[in-house]
Amino acid sequence: MKQTTAIAALAALAQDSRLEVFRLLVRQGPDGLPAGEIAERLGVQPATLSFHLAQLSHAGLVASRRQGRSIIYRADVATMKDLMAFLLYDCCSGHPELCGVGDAAAPAQGPGEPPCCAPAQPKAAGTA
């Protein structure tokens, strides 16, 4: 992730309502929520919510799709992961305890992969 992209994402999240919207969408998962339901759950006026969703969308943190007459919003997990990786990139240097990031807080990136910021495992004798 480029620094300018990270700054845009952090700026979008640096507002109470937008952070609440993003966290709600993260909890909701890939199915997302219609804009009206987001507004209702958070007690935000639809016009205000539309502005906040546009800011989050411009920063790449939410994606939308049309479903009938509704627009469904979901958190863009890939962008969120990229942002977290950007923020933690220089932190660990193989020592997750320095950042307070441990195995429980940083799950494996995929099957068979070590947790984020996990110390490099020594190679077995006789391997390249």
The 10s digit of each residue's pLDDT in 32-90 is: 999 999 999 999 999 999 999 999 999 999 999 999 999 999 999 999 999 988 888 77
pLDDT band of residue 110 (cuts 50, 70, 90) is very low
Q: What's the residue count for the chain?
A: 128
Sign of CA dihedral 96, 101, 105, 106: negative
pLDDT at 120 over 70: no
Sign of CA dihedral 37, 45, 19, 73: positive
Instruction: Give the H or E element holding residue 62.
Output: strand 62-67
pLDDT of residue 88: 80
pLDDT of residue 97: 66
What architecture (CATH level 2) is domain 3-78? Orthogonal Bundle (1.10)
pLDDT band of residue 108 (cuts 50, 70, 90) is very low
Where in the chain are all domains bearing CATH 1.10.10.10?
3-78
pLDDT band of residue 104 (cuts 50, 70, 90) is very low
